[in-house]
């Protein structure tokens, strides 16, 4: 789905090129429809002396939609480019359209940001910190500030800072990066009172449940990217809201209320260190009456995956669960592992 199909006509401003318009966020929207138009506009835009990469990205998004993922290579070969370049442009366009693009940041930075856990947030940080592409890649590889700013020992050498001979006698100590020092505003800094905090949790839990329902009904992976981005944003907000060790039970409870029931999925989404930690938190929540250990639809289907569910969630046939989505890589017994 292109921006043209999701924006009302009055929000698109015409440009000199009849096959392009500009949406209300300043992003070019490609209007070409036929294969001849797409091919000619790609060649003209790609060969222009002053390349407008976001126009090229808008065309790439249309190519990916019209030709299909498996046929991008054929288009690339015919027009003297690479399929990877078209895919990178198309993915960047879809990820950063609708006002998510960062002004004054190169499209190369936006493409690099796709490798981050949260591409939109990563692009904003790259802009605020004035990262070069090399510095940006190194920051993402090192864990996006979540690993104390330290590069892994096996980091690619091209990502590591170079040293001159004059630097050798000097002992240089790099202070670990503080995740709380980032320029984006933290939810905890907004000084929410208890009622506002609970309301925010409820909103985030609703968004997660909506994402799960919508994802099961999507027919294309292109549309699924929007759900991926929304889930990434929701995960980030929940992490920010529950940064303190004492708030980990709130984090786990939020994910469970948001429809994340399987232990393996909970470990990943809540960023816990071990099954033992998850088990300890969940037993505490179970004792407080917030959650329960359940085998959904056990009576109808026999053995089913064991899950941590909200205490007020009905068992049995009253609530349907897609069994295909609950294949476990690790077996758990009835006694909470």
CATH code assigned at 195? 1.10.10.10
Q: For the residues 47-76, what does the mean pLDDT come to?
A: 85
Using pLDDT thresholds of 50, 70 and 90, give the confidence band for residue 287.
Answer: very high
Q: What pLDDT does 280 receive?
A: 92
Task: Tell me whether residue 320 is in a domain.
Answer: yes
Residues 310 and 210 in one domain: yes
Using pLDDT thresholds of 50, 70 and 90, give the confidence band for residue 59.
Answer: very high
- Choose one of 60, 75, 101: the last residue of a domain: 101
Task: Tell me whether residue 141 is in a domain.
Answer: no
- Choose one of 101, 127, 159: the last residue of a domain: 101
Q: For the residues 141-169, what does the mean pLDDT come to?
A: 51
Alpha helices in the chain (DSSP H): 3-6, 35-47, 53-67, 72-78, 83-96, 107-113, 119-128, 133-141, 194-215, 221-241, 248-257, 263-269, 275-287, 298-301
Total domains present in the chain = 2
- Choose one of 37, 70, 101: the last residue of a domain: 101
The answer to whether the beta carbons of residues 91 and 112 sit under 8 Å apart is no
Give the chain's mean pLDDT.
Answer: 75
- Which token pair is 50? 């002053």
CA 317 vs CA 111, 210, 303, 329: distances in Å? 45, 21, 14, 25
Q: How far apart are CA 220 and CA 215, in angstroms?
A: 10
Residues 207 and 312 in one domain: yes
Residues 316 and 200 in one domain: yes
pTM for the model stands at 0.46
Task: Tell me whether residue 84 is in a domain.
Answer: yes
Looking at the DSSP assignment, which residues form a beta bridge with residue 14?
21
Q: For the residues 320-326, what does the mean pLDDT come to?
A: 39
- Which token pair is 278? 């998850």
Residues 81 and 191 in one domain: no
- Domain containing 221 equals 187-326
Residues 319 and 192 in one domain: yes
Residues 200 and 83 in one domain: no
CA 87 vs CA 19, 44, 110, 185: distances in Å? 21, 19, 13, 32
Q: What pLDDT does 66 receive?
A: 82
Q: What pLDDT does 117 receive?
A: 87
% residues pLDDT > 90 (the chain) = 26
Q: What pLDDT does 269 receive?
A: 87
Residues 202 and 318 in one domain: yes
Task: Tell me whether residue 17 is in a domain.
Answer: yes
Task: Tell me whether residue 137 is in a domain.
Answer: no
Task: Tell me whether residue 176 is in a domain.
Answer: no
Task: Tell me whether residue 173 is in a domain.
Answer: no
- Which token pair is 13? 């401003």
Q: What pLDDT does 162 receive?
A: 47
Residues 73 and 200 in one domain: no
Spatial CA neighbour of 183 closest among 132, 230, 123: 123
Task: Tell me whether residue 286 is in a domain.
Answer: yes
């Amino acid at each position: 789905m292109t921006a043209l199909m999701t924006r009302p006509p009055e929000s698109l401003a015409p440009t000199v090129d009849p096959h392009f318009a500009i949406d209300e966020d300043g992003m070019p929207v490609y209007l070409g429809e036929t294969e001849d138009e797409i091919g000619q506009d790609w060649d003209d835009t790609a060969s222009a002396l002053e390349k407008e990469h976001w126009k090229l990205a808008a065309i790439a998004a249309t190519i990916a939609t019209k030709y299909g993922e498996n046929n991008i290579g054929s288009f690339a070969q015919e027009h003297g480019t690479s399929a990877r370049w078209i895919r990178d442009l198309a993915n960047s366009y879809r990820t950063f359209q609708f006002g998510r693009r960062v002004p004054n940041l190169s499209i190369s930075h936006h493409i690099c940001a796709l490798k981050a856990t949260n591409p939109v947030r990563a692009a904003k940080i790259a802009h605020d910190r004035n990262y070069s592409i090399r510095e940006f890649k190194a920051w993402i590889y090192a864990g996006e500030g979540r690993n104390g700013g330290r590069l892994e020992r096996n980091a690619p050498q091209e990502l590591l800072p170079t040293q001159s001979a004059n630097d050798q006698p000097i002992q240089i100590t790099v202070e670990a990066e503080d995740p709380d020092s980032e320029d984006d505003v933290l939810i905890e800094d907004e000084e929410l009172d208890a009622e506002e905090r609970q309301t925010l949790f409820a909103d985030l839990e609703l968004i997660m449940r909506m994402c799960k329902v919508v994802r099961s009904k999507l027919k294309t992976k292109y549309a699924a990217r929007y759900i991926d981005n929304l889930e990434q944003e929701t995960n980030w907000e929940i992490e920010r809201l529950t940064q303190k060790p004492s708030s980990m039970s709130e984090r786990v409870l939020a994910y469970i209320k948001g429809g994340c029931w399987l232990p393996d999925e909970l470990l990943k989404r809540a960023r816990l260190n071990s099954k033992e930690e998850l088990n300890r938190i969940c037993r505490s929540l179970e004792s407080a009456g917030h959650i329960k250990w359940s085998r959904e639809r056990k009576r109808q289907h026999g053995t089913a995956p064991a899950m941590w569910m909200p205490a007020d969630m009905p068992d049995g046939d009253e609530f349907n669960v897609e069994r295909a989505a609950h294949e476990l890589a690790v077996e758990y017994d009835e006694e909470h592992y």
